Structure 1
Amino acid sequence: MASETFTDRTLTLELNDEDNVNVVWRGKSTARDPAQFILPILAKALDLAGKSHKALVFDFRRLEYMNSSTVTPLIRILDQAKKGGTQLTLIYNKGLKWQTLNFTALEVFHTDDKRIEIRGV
């Protein structure tokens, strides 16, 4: 699998399998229940990374906005990754205040071995 693109309204997730398994977030996540769209894609990415022994990267730097409902499916996947053996890095744009506020709250998922990492760049 080289690359797959999934779009729901104003949100696009691009899943690609290169050196790492990457999920690049673009646009705006404004759905009332975004889990219906987001969870299957993130679960597929987590499964693919686990089976291929690759790191998983969620890249939010191109995301313009996300509502609070978007955080719940992220928490579910981060929790699954923390219980499993997959390395997961969540990257966000620390220059955007709203991203910093949302993603620093997820730092509770950090692991001491940095297998799960939330990183502002």
Structure 2
Amino acid sequence: MIDKLAEQLVNLTVKQVSELATILKKKYGIEPSTSMKVENPLSVKEKIDEKKEKSIFNIILKSSGNSKLSVVKLVKEITGKGLKESKDLVDNIPGVIKESVNKTEAENLKNKFEEIGAEVELK
């Protein structure tokens, strides 16, 4: 009987474990210890996703540094936007310069920005 109970407990879903913890707390005053904390399934998925290496990035301008004009020119070159739109992007920091860029291109663009003194983040 105990073996069957143990097997049933081991095979519970996260939702069922959460419900069991609630019942034990309300009916019997038993609270789970910190080692038995039930994690939100979404947070578990996020942790798994973080461990996977990203291959697509957004390039975010964090700072234009000392050479704002050079950064505007580079933004214009990369995005294909006009001078005014590029300047507006640089003026509204932090801002996304380019979205959904592969890892190699993102790193190359980040290096170009860093060479002219700008600060860029890849997300």
TM-score normalised to the size of structure 1?
Answer: 0.25
Q: Which has the larger radius of gyration?
A: 2
Taking CA–CA contacts closer than 8 Å with sequence separation of 6 or more, which of the two structures ends up with the larger relative contact order?
A: 2
More strand by share: 1
Q: TM-score w.r.t. structure 2 length?
A: 0.25
* Structure richer in helix, relative to its length: 2
